[in-house]
Amino acid sequence: MNEPIQDGWLASARRCPSPNYNDRPAGEAISLLVVHNISLPPGEFGGGYIEAFFCNQLPVNRHPYFEQIRDLKVSAHLLIDREGEAIQFVPFDRRAWHAGASTFQGRDECNDFSVGIELEGADQVPYTDAQYQRLAEVAGLLLSRYPAMTPERITGHSDIAPGRKTDPGPAFDWDYFRAQLAQRL
């Protein structure tokens, strides 16, 4: 019974349930993985503000930037922090609110059919190897659990929302990530 993914939750992740989710369309297969980055305040790591933000508990008086995003209701399924720890906010079988207006291969509303993983980071800052390894591990588990998700259906937020989003940015080494993933498939 030690399934790596149980009832949509990654067994190895710490859970931080977010209220920011809803149901996927009936019968929708999970078929896309979207890689993002986030840091709060922007460019700063640690502090626990991403978790607070996704749970609508951001202490808005701590930083001027927090005032700008205080009313946003967003989430991702998972966050991978700089140490490679995974924190899960929404079960994979529910619809997290990470992609916004988006299109993948002609289909809009990527939140309907995707899993969103945030890397704690910034577009121009190299990601840690712990993050690449954890992302590859989790992606491998997701591909195994959700067969409609394939290596070709792993994309960046900037690819499904071009002109609007830039993450995970040029710092994300897709070739290295895909090589790490391939070793696990």
Binding mask 19-58 for Zn ion (x = CB under 5 A): -----------------x----------------------
State the DSSP string of 135-170. HHHHHHHHHHH-TT--GGGEEEHHHHSTTT--TT-T
Q: Give the C-alpha distances (Å, rounded to integers) separating 122 from 36, 45, 82, 185.
A: 9, 9, 11, 28
Determine the 3-state secondary structure of 125 from DSSP: coil
36 vs 95 by CB, closer to Zn ion = 36
Name the token pair of 166. 């830039």
Restricted to residues 149-168, the positions that interact with Zn ion (CB under 5 A) are 157, 167
CB 50 within 8 A of CB 40: yes
Binding flag, residue 77, Zn ion (CB under 5 A): no
Active-site annotation holder among 51, 118, 120, 137: 118
CB of 52 to Zn ion, least distance (A): 18
Shortest Å distance, C-beta 98 to Zn ion = 6
Active site residue 118: yes
Q: Which residues are catalytic?
A: 118
Q: Which residues bind Zn ion (CB under 5 A)?
A: 36, 157, 167
